[in-house]
Chain A
Amino acid sequence: MTVQLWTYLFVALSFGLYIGIAIWSRAGSTNDFYVAGSGVSPLANGMATAADWMSAASFISMAGLISFLGRDGSFYLMGWTGGYVLLALLLAPYLRKFGQYTVPDFIGDRYYSRSARLVAVVCAITVSFVYVCGQMQGAGIVFSRFLEVDITTGVFIGMGIVFFYAVLGGMKGITYTQVAQYCVLIFAYLVPAIFISMMMTGNPIPQLGFGSELNADYGGGYLLDRLDNLSAELGLAPYTEGQRSTQDVFFITAALMFGTAGLPHVIIRFFTVPGVRAARKSAAYALIFIALLYTTAPAIAAFAKTNLLTTVSNTEYQALPEWFYTWEQTGLIQFSDLNGDGAVQYTGDASTNELTVNRDIMVLANPEIAGLPDWVIALVAAGALAAALSTAAGLLLVISTAVSHDLLKRSLMPGITEKQELLFARIAIFIAILIAGYFGINPPGFVAEVVAFAFGLAAASFFPAIVTGIFFQRMNRQGAISGMVAGFLFTSGYIAYFKLIAPESNSAEHWLFGISPEGIGALGMLLNMLVALIVCRLYAAPPQHIRELVDSIRTPGDR
């Protein structure tokens, strides 16, 4: 069987599974549609959260990014896992006790204000749309690369599948498909990593392997030392040393952490479990499942970089391994023989460097680089699709609930029946899929540029508003709204300036306090809190029933 046949088989099997689950878990009520009837076990919710969280970017791009960033890449690792500590300790149990359907629900009720709810709706929809376009694009790329259909067809197939289980099953369908998708993606990620770790270091556990000694055919010595030495020889930065300034890494890590904890599609997952205790437990499961991939990624990054530097650098073009030519055809590896000696010179100096490697290749080409069997290569394709589709579905649900529940039912058309609301929810998700699909096929140039936007925005708007809503009883609607608006405007303005308006000045000497646009969300969050605390003092304390609401979410509600 060829790689392509295996890929068709795995993708067809996994899609069949998702559709089967969708039919089995149809949603009958808005409660099913929004929060899966709040009957999801903590274990299943942990897996679903992990699949929801780990997007095409985590699966395909993260290891490659770390591979090129070295130790600086740690901000992705710590940022995207450390946020779960905040989520578990500061948000999830209380929001579950509060027990509504959406994040704008909490903001609107806690701050007794329709404007607060609308501000939250705008933030939720903006954050989720930025994110979902990237997922659709990711699915399209995997389809086109592994199944050799064009990107447009790929996006259409992806849309069709998500449409089927999201429209039919809502949160219920999405949750149980995400459980299946987690299993597919983690298996697809770990299998090649274990094979490669065995091959290079003889240690089957990748997390230990990248701190072990290399096998004799790779030259022996500790892997990371060798990587540092190789990098130094080629004039690249040492792999295990940081290059960015400490305060920038600090702020980027913080923006990613607080952003993670503030992302609506992650938060609503905790509305689907039966109670407060289950919400806490499920946050623990979620982080364990996420950590399986996130602790493997830096190992893959180190293996891949070592492989690249030892097998490709200073090798005659004719003598390169087979995978080099295969991926060269896709344009992801580019070699231009600048000095005409017929060999590949990979250096840190742009004027002599002859090799350009796309970061995505580190995961996608890894099985070929390691010479693994064809079915493993096909498995990676199925895993990448699972990662992209599961995240897309979770985000589309946030958009649909924001429209049908927060905008229509709770703000504009309070008179509609549950049946009508459910119909509106399905129509909203349908339209959201069409728009996401459109952007997947015609990606606006700025999608990749504004990924930081989603995190920065969530950190600067939702996180402080929710946390002060729970922990600071005195916070009133004036404080919360002005805080959210200040954080939102400051963060989006800063990002827009450096990414869209004046990208040529996007360098450390122009940044505020040396903080890059990726990390500015953390500062936006501090600004939000500061503004909220000052404005809060100028107006009356929230009414009695709000203080009682806060008291009630603070006390244990279930056994």
Chain B
Amino acid sequence: MQDKYAREYWRANIRLLMILLSIWFFISYLCGIVLADWLDNIRIGGFKLGFWIAQQGAIYVFIALILVYVKAMDKLDSQYRDHHPSSPEQSPEDSSNDAGDDSEITGGRE
């Protein structure tokens, strides 16, 4: 059985996923497909809005969603660690590298 910090961490994670995936669905399936014809009545420069979202805007939103996720999860991870200094799941391959600096090209599974 998991401890309460692990459960809290997981709940916070799920909440974040729900929010981000709702935006993902809203922008691509609703704005880009279902409501696109209606949004086309609005124009930005030479673009109709629905068309622009379907061919450009949605992609920019996707990038923003992943960037927000990366930031938020890094924060959530460090909060978890504050409550949980010796994580039992911490496997050796993960702790041997990636210590704060993601760009180092060392380490491995051994």
Contact between chains at A240 and B40 (CB < 8 Å): yes
Partner of B32, one of A38, A74, A240: A74
Contact between chains at B100 and A559 (CB < 8 Å): yes
Question: Which A1-54 residues have a C-beta within 8 angstroms of B?
Answer: 31, 35, 37-44
B42 an interface residue at 8 Å Cβ cutoff?
Answer: no
Enumerate chain B residues within 8 angstroms of A37, measured Cβ to Cβ. 107-109
Q: Mark A281-294, 1 if CB is under 8 A from B, else 0.
A: 10110011001001
Question: Which B77-110 residues have a C-beta within 8 angstroms of A?
Answer: 77, 80-81, 87, 89-91, 93-95, 97-100, 102-110
Enumerate chain B residues within 8 angstroms of A35, measured Cβ to Cβ. 109
Contact between chains at B37 and A39 (CB < 8 Å): no
Contact between chains at A551 and B36 (CB < 8 Å): no
A90 an interface residue at 8 Å Cβ cutoff?
Answer: yes
Q: What is the bound-complex CA distance between A324 and B100, given in angstroms? A: 56
Chain B interface size, as a band, is 35 or more
Q: What is the bound-complex CA distance between A298 and B55, given in angstroms? A: 7
Enumerate chain B residues within 8 angstroms of A42, measured Cβ to Cβ. 102-103
Contact between chains at A554 and B44 (CB < 8 Å): no
Contact between chains at A283 and B66 (CB < 8 Å): yes
Whole-angstrom distance between the Cβ of A49 and the nearest chain B Cβ: 12
Contact between chains at B70 and A280 (CB < 8 Å): yes
Contact between chains at B34 and A250 (CB < 8 Å): yes
Contact between chains at B90 and A39 (CB < 8 Å): no
Contact between chains at B40 and A295 (CB < 8 Å): no
A338 an interface residue at 8 Å Cβ cutoff?
Answer: no
Q: What is the bound-complex CA distance between A43 and B103, given in angstroms? A: 8
Q: What is the bound-complex CA distance between A86 and B62, given in angstroms? A: 10
Question: Which A256-286 residues have a C-beta within 8 angstroms of B?
Answer: 257, 274-278, 280-281, 283-284
Of all chain A residues, which has the CB nearest B110? A31
Contact between chains at A82 and B58 (CB < 8 Å): yes
Contact between chains at A39 and B52 (CB < 8 Å): no
Chain A interface size, as a band, is 35 or more
Enumerate chain B residues within 8 angstroms of A280, measured Cβ to Cβ. 66, 69-70, 73-74
Q: What is the bound-complex CA distance between A40 and B105, given in angstroms? A: 6
Enumerate chain B residues within 8 angstroms of A254, measured Cβ to Cβ. 29
Contact between chains at A274 and B9 (CB < 8 Å): no
Question: Which A196-214 residues have a C-beta within 8 angstroms of B?
Answer: 207, 210-213
SS of B interface (majority): helix
Contact between chains at A71 and B51 (CB < 8 Å): yes
Enumerate chain A residues within 8 angstroms of B13, measured Cβ to Cβ. 554
Of all chain A residues, which has the CB nearest B10? A554
Enumerate chain B residues within 8 angstroms of A278, measured Cβ to Cβ. 98, 102
Contact between chains at A559 and B99 (CB < 8 Å): yes
Enumerate chain B residues within 8 angstroms of A222, measured Cβ to Cβ. 45-46
Enumerate chain A residues within 8 angstroms of B81, measured Cβ to Cβ. 556, 559
A326 an interface residue at 8 Å Cβ cutoff?
Answer: no
Contact between chains at B66 and A277 (CB < 8 Å): no
Of all chain B residues, which has the CB nearest A201? B46
Partner of A211, one of B46, B60, B103, B109: B46
Whole-angstrom distance between the Cβ of B46 and the nearest chain A Cβ: 4
Contact between chains at B54 and A281 (CB < 8 Å): no
Whole-angstrom distance between the Cβ of B90 and the nearest chain A Cβ: 6
Contact between chains at B29 and A253 (CB < 8 Å): yes
Contact between chains at B108 and A78 (CB < 8 Å): no
Q: What is the bound-complex CA distance between A397 and B90, given in angstroms? A: 29
Of all chain A residues, which has the CB nearest B108? A37
Q: What is the bound-complex CA distance between A43 and B105, given in angstroms? A: 11
Whole-angstrom distance between the Cβ of A454 and the nearest chain B Cβ: 21
Q: Which residue numbers of A lie inside 8 Å of B, CB to CB? A: 31, 35, 37-44, 66, 71, 73-74, 77-78, 81-82, 84-86, 88-90, 93, 97, 99, 207, 210-213, 222-225, 240-242, 246, 249-250, 253-254, 257, 274-278, 280-281, 283-284, 287-288, 291, 294-295, 298, 551-552, 554-559
Kindly list the 8 A-B residue pairs having the minimum CB-CB distance in the complex, ordered from nearest. Answer: A222-B46, A74-B54, A558-B94, A275-B98, A211-B46, A556-B77, A298-B55, A211-B47
- Besides A71-B36, A277-B98, 12 other A-B contacts (C-beta < 8 A): A81-B62, A85-B24, A89-B66, A211-B44, A222-B46, A242-B37, A274-B102, A555-B89, A556-B81, A557-B89, A557-B90, A558-B98
Identify 13 residue pairs between A and B in the complex whose beta-carbon atoms are under 8 Å apart, listed by A's number. Answer: A41-B102, A74-B54, A85-B21, A89-B65, A89-B66, A90-B17, A246-B34, A253-B29, A280-B74, A283-B70, A298-B55, A555-B9, A558-B98
